[in-house]
């Protein structure tokens, strides 16, 4: 499961202030699953992932206090993380029409995590000397590589061979930590307990053609950023979305899935602008195409 998010542009640009932000956040989860049937109605499953994340963020904040004086602040943060994630599941076919399932994802096991921070502040005065303050060479910092635990509860209902309905509720744990082990350069990450839900349905036009769709929430676990703290904080961005796809099963018992999903929302972010931290509006929109293959034995 790959994930990639990037932004490059100006947060504010005028004759007095120019603030530019550039970041790339990419991750990859690679794993496999194994399941065991207890009997005709019950089964157990285990999914295990190895995760890798790379995050690079740089900001350039220039303020012109007069025609001859300006202050330039630059900061770059590089973060790499690796961890192990396990998911334990249980399924029970209660009746021919009803089924339930539960899964538990404990907090991730840290494998590795490190960060580098480079920072400088330059005061320019055309009528006098230029003063540049560069932070000393910062050694590689330890990062905790945190991924929240999750408990999921789901149910499905099949009123007829044509229709299938399903609902899932997901409960995520909360915690607070510093993203690196140096208080001078760390960001305090606050993750609150949060719940999300998804609802979907499937309609079978024929045994070889099925249509699916659903809606879901993706509420943020972070509180609204507080400008009085005067430090970077996580974005508060509540999102929602929908998905749609169809499944075509060929005569050779190979199924092909085509579709996609959308997720998006609007929230609040805190950024360093004009040598201070301001709350700004942030929006997020993602459209993703889905292509899958299924083999029926």
Closest CA to 106 of 138, 136, 84: 84
Per-residue pLDDT, averaged over 229-237, amounts to: 89
* Assigned token pair, 110: 């840290």
Q: Long-range contacts made by residues 14-17, C-beta under 8 angstroms, separation at least 24?
A: 15/64, 16/63, 16/64, 16/274, 17/61, 17/62, 17/63, 17/64, 17/273, 17/274
253 pLDDT exceeds 90?
A: no
Report the pLDDT value the prediction gives residue 237, as an integer from 0 to 100.
94
- Report pLDDT for 132: 65
Digit-coded pLDDT (tens) for 121-162: 888 877 776 666 666 567 788 998 889 999 999 999 999 999
Amino acid 124: pLDDT: 81
In terms of Cβ atoms closer than 10 Å to its own Cβ (0-12, 13-18, 19+), residue 66 is exposed
pLDDT at 179: 86
Res 4: pLDDT:
87
Share of the chain above pLDDT 90, in %: 69
Q: Can you give the pLDDT at residue 3?
A: 85
Task: pLDDT band for 18, please (50, 70, 90 cuts).
Answer: very high
Domain ranges within the chain, ordered by starting residue: 2-295
Residue 81 and residue 113: Cα distance in Å, rounded?
Answer: 4
| pLDDT tens digits, one per residue of 206-221 | 989 999 999 999 999 9
Tens of pLDDT, residue by residue over 87-124, are 999 999 999 999 999 999 999 999 999 998 888 888 88
pLDDT-wise least confident of 38-47, 160-169, 214-223, 281-290? 281-290
Tell me: pLDDT of 25 over 90.
Answer: yes
- Fold (topology level) of 2-295: Porin (2.40.160)
Residue 229, pLDDT > 90, answer no
Looking at every residue in the chain, the average pLDDT score rounds to: 91
For residue 131, the model assigns a pLDDT of: 67
Q: State residue 186 phi and psi, 5-degree precision.
A: -85, 160
β-bridge partners, 65: none
Q: Is the pLDDT of residue 297 over 80?
A: no
Phi-psi region of 25 (alpha: psi -120 to 50; beta: other; left: phi over 0): beta
Q: How far apart are CA 199 and CA 243, in angstroms?
A: 10
């Amino acid at each position: 499961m790959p994930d990639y998010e990037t932004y490059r542009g100006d947060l504010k640009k005028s004759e007095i202030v120019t603030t530019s932000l550039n970041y790339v956040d990419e991750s990859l989860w690679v794993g496999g699953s194994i399941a065991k049937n207890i009997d005709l109605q019950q089964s157990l499953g285990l999914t295990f992932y190895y995760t890798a994340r790379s995050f690079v963020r740089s900001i350039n904040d220039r303020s012109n206090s007069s025609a001859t004086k300006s202050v330039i602040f630059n900061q770059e943060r590089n973060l790499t993380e690796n961890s192990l994630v396990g998911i334990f599941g249980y399924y029970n076919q209660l009746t021919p029409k009803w089924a339930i399932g539960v899964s538990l994802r404990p907090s991730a096991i840290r494998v590795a995590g490190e960060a580098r921070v480079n920072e400088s502040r330059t005061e320019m005065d055309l009528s006098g000397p230029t003063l540049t303050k560069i932070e000393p060479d910062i050694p590689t910092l330890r990062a905790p590589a945190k991924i929240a635990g999750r408990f999921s509860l789901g149910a499905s209902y099949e009123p007829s061979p044509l229709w299938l309905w399903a609902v899932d509720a997901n409960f995520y744990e909360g915690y607070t930590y510093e993203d690196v082990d140096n208080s001078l350069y760390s960001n305090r990450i606050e993750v609150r307990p949060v719940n999300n839900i998804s609802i979907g349905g499937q309609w079978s036009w024929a045994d070889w053609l099925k249509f699916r769709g659903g809606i879901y929430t993706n509420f943020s676990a972070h509180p609204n950023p507080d400008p009085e703290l005067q430090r970077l904080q996580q974005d508060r961005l509540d999102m929602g979305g929908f998905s749609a796809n169809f499944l075509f099963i060929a005569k050779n018992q190979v199924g092909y899935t085509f579709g996609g999903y959308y997720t998006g929302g609007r929230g609040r972010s805190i950024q360093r602008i004009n040598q201070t931290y301001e709350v700004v509006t942030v929006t997020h929109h993602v459209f993703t195409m889905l292509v899958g293959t299924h083999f029926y034995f």
